[in-house]
Amino acid sequence: MHKNIQKIKKLEGSPQVIKNLFSKKEIDKFMQLYQKLPTTVHNKKQNVIKKRWLKSFNEELENLFYEKVKNEIGDFKMDNLKDENNEDILGLFQESYNPIGLHVDAGFNLDEIIFKQTLIPLTPKGSTVIFKNKFYGSSTNFTIDENELKIKDLKYGQNIRSSAHIEMYEKKPFNKEDHEKYLKHEKLDNLSGLEIDLVYEWELGSILIFDRTRLHCSSSKIDGKKIGLTTLTKK
């Protein structure tokens, strides 16, 4: 578990959706950056492409992003991984055709005071589900799939797999209407004890900001493909 849980809790708040934070021209620049960056992961099984936003690859966008986000959440430091050359990664572009499962992006250094994470949609169709439930361990994929839980040989930056959430929260069935509407890709039993706080419908120019301790996942509503930029922060 994180060593500074009380400090982390003092920084927590409700998820925020800031509309019209970025102009169409600025979103176009992020998309151009995405197209220029080298592919980090192309997982054909999951049908997902990931590209790391490398520091100094586009300093104009770095400054733009930092100033706009700072105006919303105050001072912060970026808290993303490093590449093979020990250079900072500022965020992760992800192009996906299938929903991303239940997880938390609470980081891997339990000494850090984790803060907010952001999601900037670069395509107009998609949605993200934020739960009220929180987790103060390291970055984790939550699953009850036996094969997933057997995965132990993890590479740098990969989330651990765990079913600990099933025992952590109040044992009550997940809302079946919400499951049918938003989360058909998740097993109903895997959502036991969870409660939705916000369903963020993607909108170009907007940004989603929420605590890194929050469990979240994609909704099952994907029309074709979606591309988004995720960044993580700390104090």
Total of domains in the chain: 1
Tokens of 84: 């093979």
- Mean pLDDT across 46-75: 90
Domain containing 132 equals 5-234
Distance CA 225, CA 211 (A): 26
- pLDDT in the model for residue 80: 74
CB 127 within 8 A of CB 233: no
- pLDDT in the model for residue 76: 95
- pLDDT in the model for residue 208: 98
* pLDDT per position as a tens digit, 74-115: 999 998 777 777 777 899 999 998 899 999 999 999 999 999
Q: Smallest Cα–Cα separation from 119: which of 234, 204, 59?
A: 204
* pLDDT per position as a tens digit, 116-150: 999 999 999 899 999 999 999 999 999 999 988 98
Q: Smallest Cα–Cα separation from 93: which of 28, 25, 33?
A: 33
Place 42 in a pLDDT band, splitting at 50, 70 and 90.
low
Distance CA 132, CA 216 (A): 9
* Residue at 59: amino acid letter: E
Whether residue 15 is predicted with pLDDT greater than 80 in this model: the reply is: yes
CATH classification at residue 37? 2.60.120
Whether residue 43 is predicted with pLDDT greater than 70 in this model: the reply is: no
- pLDDT in the model for residue 44: 54
Could you tell me the pTM of the whole model?
Answer: 0.93
β-pairing verdict for 226-234 and 89-96:
antiparallel
Distance CA 228, CA 22 (A): 14
Q: What is the 3-state secondary structure (H, E, C) of the chain?
A: CCCCHHHHHHCCCCCEEECCCCCHHHHHHHHHHHHHCCCCEEECCCCEEEEEEECCCCHHHHHHHHHHHHHHHCCCEECCCECCCCCEEEEEEEEECCCCCCEECCCCCCCCCEEEEEEEECCCCCEEEEEEEECCCCCEEECCCHHHHCCCCCCCCCCEEECCHHHHCCCCCCCHHHHHHHCCCCCHHHHCCCCEEEEEECCCCCEEEEECCEEEEECCCCCCCEEEEEEEEEC
Residue with tokens 């990969």: 158
- pLDDT in the model for residue 3: 97
Whether residue 68 is predicted with pLDDT greater than 80 in this model: the reply is: yes
- pLDDT in the model for residue 125: 86
- pLDDT in the model for residue 46: 59
CB 77 within 8 A of CB 60: no
* pLDDT per position as a tens digit, 184-226: 999 999 999 999 999 999 999 999 999 999 999 999 988 788 9
CB 108 within 8 A of CB 70: no
